[in-house]
């Protein structure tokens, strides 16, 4: 008997047939004696349709109205899913963000959850009713509708799971768990039984598409056990949880890659204090997130080269600002390089094991892959390489860190199914 | 400077282009110095699509979930319309039934309005913002979403107009007002400048499709001046208002017809007390609304024939019940007749003018139209005739009561535009 939050994304509730599948899975889980609380996204494609409608009416639709518009998508999918579950004989009711008591700040289209009561969710569970919660949405103190931004439904699921003290928060996706790396590149990639919040966060921010950063952060903060599972099968999935001793034994848990960055280099910047500050202040004021930064002092000691990477979508703006600042700083010129990829190895074991960096650099160099930039964190090592080497680099590192083999027997997950 | 509620139906907001037209009309009205409050229905066709989805998931979708589902349609159209108005430079915001403070009973899918605060509507108007209200919806005391049933958006408009003491509540439709009869049948049919609530109610319940009964009832109760106008033109429309002296001068205001009834006759019912009561109690217990009733005593004084009419959609159920009761009562047999039409003349002047019935019967009979049933009210006279005579009967009566000619100069409407 467990209390389980299950979250299904837009693809999983994208048609009548799929909604029926979700309903069957929910009812099966209930019949095993569990209590289920559902969180759903809008039906796949519907959100895009609404955005198109909005854009055809307004050059810059007011954010408040976008939230009113887009939050409707989850109301539709939640109501339909509740109908499908009721049809199978298990009472069910849809609940909006407001009805769940998800109070957010007033930053429309990317609101942050301020508090959550979930009283009606608890009441429904007590009465044997399956609540189907509209993901992605909340309400401000002054009663306006907000949405939580990208990955908002995962966040709703984690927040509800925390509020009702669920035994697990299962995120259903098109993949059956978190893998050591992209199986499309390395067929031997292995599904992880569990992974720590921190590792998952690094992998998510490095481009792994399974879970969004915000939901993992929330789960970590409130210690919600997340499970990434497949909507196609009953396979166990990957448990994302607190770091434990088993995990520390594993030096590297996974390898991620990101082809969506551009490198910008400002060459010949006079080498005097405060220059990096000037540059990156200008860029951050444009809300562009800079990822990696490298500064080289040129041999004569008078000029420096500064390279940094930004998301490809921000390239144009970042280049403009760099050009402007380069002029002010009397720098020589600004160049951009789109054909780069960032390859990262992630593992909490790095904290206690040395030699990861050396092995990474050696493996890449042995295969003729030149490293353009390096950055490190406590549990992550990233290298920028030429984009054409992406797949090769991932394969080489997967092999070097021996990820295809299962490292240690890890304890079974405790939630009964 | 007037405060005007404008209500647009599903066809009027059925596409991006039409929403833009609505926005332009609203902005024009604002520029003339008026304050506008908008009420919109769901985009045409969307509600049907949602009902189809629901029906493909459940044999009998729970009413609460239907309300959650269908109320989404108005949120979408209201948000889009608010965007379109904002785009034209006039600030606008969508407001849900809840945000408007429309509290209803808990009878899902056909809730009744219990109270309405409209505080946010008043506040928005004060701040120069055009509120775009989601029609058709409210919220229960316990915070569940309800819908108001057929004609719900008109009702929302009338209720909001009453709550904010609007100078007028304009209902935009595909026709430019209320006509003396259907112009498709009588090309000389004349648009009425004004008509009383009571007459409008009779016409609405007799099948005129311009306004729904409930909104007229509400408007009458709270004395809200309704204006039926065309979304295609700036023509003045028809004012629906309190009865005044001018109106009494006009004996007959309009002629309505209804082809959607079936006549059921139970023949040879033993003529003893309580039989009609037994029959109609049975029928009303099935929620079937009986319209006209005629009972004839047969010549031998022992048996009676009872005829009554019901909406065509209820024919099957009504026949079953009649068969059952006829058997219990030892009646001879039950027959149904679908090929009937009800022709009605309506006018508050009937109260003070005699001879309307005589003129009606005479006109019909002079044209060889046999009258099968008759019913009367204070301001209405209805005859059931064979369906094939519908158009002829309408033309004959329109001519007989001289409706093509404008009877009296009536006072100009007082709302400035």
DSSP of B290-312:
P--EEEEE-TTSSEEEEEEEEEG
pLDDT digits (tens, 9 = 90+) for B197-236: 999 998 887 766 778 888 999 999 999 999 999 988 888 8
* Mutation for testing the A interface, residue in B73, B79, B98, B99 having most A CBs under 10 Å: B79
The B-side interface with A (CB below 8 A) comprises 16, 19-20, 50, 53-54, 56-59, 61-62, 64-66, 68-69, 71-73, 75-76, 78-80, 82-84, 86-87, 93-94, 96, 98-99, 143-145
What one-character-per-residue DSSP string does A319-385 give?
A: HHHHHHHHHHHT-SEEEEE-SEEEEEEE-GGGGT---HHHHHHHHHHHTTPPEEEEEEETTEEEEEE
Q: Using the Cα atoms of residue A180, residue A182, residue A188 and residue A191 in order, give the sign of their dihedral.
A: positive
User: Is residue B178 domain-resident?
Assistant: yes
> Quick count: other Cβ atoms within 10 Å of Cβ A248?
16
In this prediction, residue A127 carries a pLDDT of 97
What is the rounded distance in angstroms from the CA atom of residue B174 to the CA atom of residue B417? 20
Task: Answer whether residue A46 shows pLDDT above 60.
Answer: yes
Question: Strand pairing of B340-346 and B380-386?
Answer: antiparallel
Reported as a single tens digit per residue, the pLDDT across A358-411 is: 999 999 999 999 999 998 888 999 999 999 999 999 999 999 999 998 654 444
Q: Are the beta carbons of A79 and B56 separated by less than 8 Å?
A: no
Inside any domain, residue A198: yes
Top pLDDT among B276 and B393 is at B393
Q: What is the pLDDT of residue A245?
A: 83
More confident residue, A411 or B29: B29
- The alpha carbon of B378 is separated from its chain's Cα centroid by a whole number of angstroms, namely 19
Here the tokens at position A164 are 């009702």
- pLDDT, mean of residues B97-125: 96
Residue A319: per-residue pLDDT: 94
| Mean pLDDT (whole number) for B122-135 | 98
pLDDT band for position B62 (cuts 50, 70, 90)? very high
Residues of chain A contacting residue B20, judged by C-beta atoms under 8 Å apart: 57
Distance from CA of A160 to the nearest CA of B (A): 19
In chain B, residues with a C-beta closer than 8 Å to the C-beta of A99 are 143-144
pTM for the whole structure: 0.84
Residue of B nearest to A132 (CA): B65
Kindly report which listed range (A176-185, A277-286, A404-413, B58-67) carries the lowest average pLDDT score: A404-413
Q: What is the mean pLDDT of residues A333-338?
A: 94
- Across the range A313-330, mean pLDDT stands at 91
Q: Say if residue B415's pLDDT is above 70.
A: no
Inter-chain residue contact B80 with A86, CB threshold 8 Å: no
Which residue on chain A is closest to B54 by alpha carbon?
Answer: A80
- Average pLDDT on B43-48 reads 94
- Give the pLDDT band (50/70/90) at residue A299: low
Residue B350 covered by a domain: no
Contact A83 B57 (CB under 8 A): yes
Question: In chain B, which residue's Cα lies nearest the Cα of A63?
Answer: B83
8 Å CB contact of A75 and B68: yes
Q: What percentage of chain A reaches a pLDDT higher than 90?
A: 72
Q: In this structure, is residue B391 part of a structural domain?
A: no
- Distance between B172 CA and the closest CA of chain A, angstroms: 21
What are the Cα distances from residue A393, in Å, to A203, A359, A404? Answer: 16, 13, 15
Exposed, middle or buried by CB within 10 Å (0-12, 13-18, 19+), for A100? Answer: buried
Residue A207 lies inside a defined structural domain of this protein:
yes
Contact A75 B71 (CB under 8 A): yes
Residue A375: partners with Cβ closer than 8 Å, 6 or more residues away: A291, A292, A293, A381, A382
- pLDDT per residue over B155-193, tens digit each? 999 999 999 999 999 999 888 899 999 999 999 999 999
Torsion, Cα of A104, A105, A111, A113 (10° steps): -40
Backbone phi, psi, residue A264, to 5°:
-115, 130
Q: With cut-offs at 50, 70 and 90, classify the pLDDT of residue A288.
A: confident
Please count the structural domains in chain A: 1
Q: What pLDDT sits at residue A409? A: 41
CA distance, residue B96 to nearest chain A CA (Å) = 9
Does the pLDDT of residue A169 top 50, yes or no? yes
Better-scored residue on pLDDT, A125 or A176 = A125
By the 8 A CB rule, do B168 and B415 touch? yes
Residue B171, C-beta contacts closer than 8 angstroms, at least 6 positions apart: B7, B154, B157, B210, B211, B215, B226, B227, B228, B229
Supply the ipTM of this predicted assembly: 0.82
Of A104-108, A313-317, B160-164, the one with minimum mean pLDDT is: A313-317
Residue B16: closest CA among chain A residues belongs to which residue?
A57
**What is the chain A residue with the closest CA to B94?**
A65
Edge-to-edge, what's the strand order for the sheet holding B254-258?
Answer: B254-258, B340-346, B380-386, B371-377
pLDDT band per the 50, 70, 90 thresholds, residue B55:
very high
Q: Are B79 and A86 a contacting pair at CB < 8 A?
A: no
Per-residue model confidence as pLDDT tens digits over B361-370:
999 999 999 9
pLDDT at position A94 is 98
Q: What is the CATH number of the domain that holds A192?
A: 3.40.1160.10
Provide the pLDDT for residue A208.
65
User: What is the predicted pLDDT for the residue at B376?
Assistant: 87
Query: How far is A122 from A118, CA to CA, in rounded Å?
Result: 6
Is it the case that residue B143 has pLDDT exceeding 50? yes
Show the tokens assigned to A260. 């969506």
Nearest CA in chain B to A20: B57
Q: Identify the contact set of chain A against chain B, taking CB-CB distances under 8 A.
A: 16, 19-20, 50, 53-54, 56-59, 61-62, 64-66, 68-69, 71-72, 75-76, 78-80, 82-84, 86-87, 93-94, 96, 98-99, 143-145
Residues of B with Cβ-Cβ distance to A82 under 8 angstroms: 62, 65, 68
- Is residue B386 situated within a structural domain? no
Nearest CA in chain A to B73: A72
Shortest distance, CA B84 to any CA of chain A (angstroms) = 5
pLDDT band at A412 (very low <50, low <70, confident <90, very high): very low
A143's torsion region: left (phi>0), alpha (psi -120 to 50) or beta?
left
Between residues A219 and B278, the one the model is more confident about = A219
Residue A323 has pLDDT above 70, yes or no: yes
B57:A19 CB<8 A: yes
Asked if residue A94 lies in contact with residue A79, where contact means CB atoms within 8 angstroms, the answer is yes
Contact A205, A258 (CB under 8 A): no
In this complex, the residue of A20, A68, A96 whose CB is nearest that of residue B79 is A68
Q: Is residue B195 part of a domain?
A: yes
Cβ distance of A72 and B68 shorter than 8 Å: no
Q: Are B324 and B264 in contact (CB under 8 A)?
A: no
Q: What is the mean pLDDT of chain A?
A: 91
Q: Is the pLDDT of residue B308 over 50?
A: yes
CA B181, B182, B188, B191: dihedral to nearest 10 degrees?
60
Is the Cβ–Cβ distance between A230 and A176 less than 8 Å?
Answer: yes
pLDDT confidence tier of residue A232, bands split at 50, 70 and 90 = confident
pLDDT the model gives residue B118: 96
B331-336 mean pLDDT = 92
Classify residue A298: in a domain, yes or no: no
pLDDT of residue B205: 74
C-alpha distance from A35 to closest chain B C-alpha (Å): 21
Q: Which residue range is the domain that position A71 belongs to?
A: 3-244
Say yes or no for a CB contact (<8 Å) between B83 and A20.
no
């Amino acid at each position: 008997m467990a209390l389980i939050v299950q979250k299904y994304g837009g693809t999983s509730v994208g048609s009548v047939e799929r909604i029926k599948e979700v309903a069957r899975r929910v009812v099966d889980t209930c019949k095993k004696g569990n209590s289920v609380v559902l969180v759903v996204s809008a039906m796949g494609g519907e959100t895009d349709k609404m955005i198109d409608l909005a854009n055809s009416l307004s050059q810059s639709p007011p954010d408040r109205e976008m939230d009113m518009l887009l939050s409707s998508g989850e109301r539709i999918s939640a109501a339909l899913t509740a109908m499908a579950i009721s049809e199978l004989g298990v009472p069910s009711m849809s609940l909006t963000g407001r009805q769940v008591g998800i109070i957010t700040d007033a930053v429309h289209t990317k609101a942050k959850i301020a508090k959550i009561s979930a009283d009606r969710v608890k009441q429904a569970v007590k009465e044997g009713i399956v609540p189907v919660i509209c993901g992605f949405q909340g309400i401000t103190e002054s009663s306006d509708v907000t949405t939580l931004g990208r990955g908002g439904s995962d966040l709703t699921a984690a927040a509800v799971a925390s509020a009702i003290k669920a035994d697990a928060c299962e995120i259903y996706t098109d993949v059956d768990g978190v893998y050591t790396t992209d199986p499309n590149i390395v067929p031997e990639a292995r599904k992880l039984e569990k992974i720590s919040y921190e590792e998952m966060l690094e992998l998510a921010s490095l481009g792994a598409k399974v879970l969004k950063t915000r939901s993992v952060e929330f789960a970590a903060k409130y210690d919600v056990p997340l499970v990434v599972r497949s909507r196609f099968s009953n396979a166990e999935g990957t448990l994302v949880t607190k770091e434990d001793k088993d995990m520390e034994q594993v030096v590297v848990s996974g390898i991620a890659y990101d082809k969506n960055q551009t490198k910008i280099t400002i060459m010949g910047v006079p080498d005097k204090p405060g220059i990096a500050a000037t540059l990156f202040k200008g860029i951050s004021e444009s809300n562009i997130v800079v990822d990696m930064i490298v500064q080289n002092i040129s041999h004569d000691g008078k000029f420096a080269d500064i390279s940094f990477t930004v998301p490809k979508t921000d390239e144009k703006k970042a280049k403009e600002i760099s050009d402007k600042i380069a002029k002010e700083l009397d720098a020589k010129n600004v160049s951009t390089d789109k054909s780069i990829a960032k390859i990262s190895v992630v593992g909490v074991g790095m904290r206690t094991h040395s030699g990861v960096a050396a092995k990474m650099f050696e493996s890449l160099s042995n295969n003729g892959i030149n490293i353009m930039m390096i950055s490190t964190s406590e549990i992550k090592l990233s290298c920028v390489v030429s984009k054409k080497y992406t797949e090769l680099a991932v394969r080489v590192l997967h092999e070097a860190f021996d990820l295809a083999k299962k490292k240690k027997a890890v304890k079974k997950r405790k939630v009964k199914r």
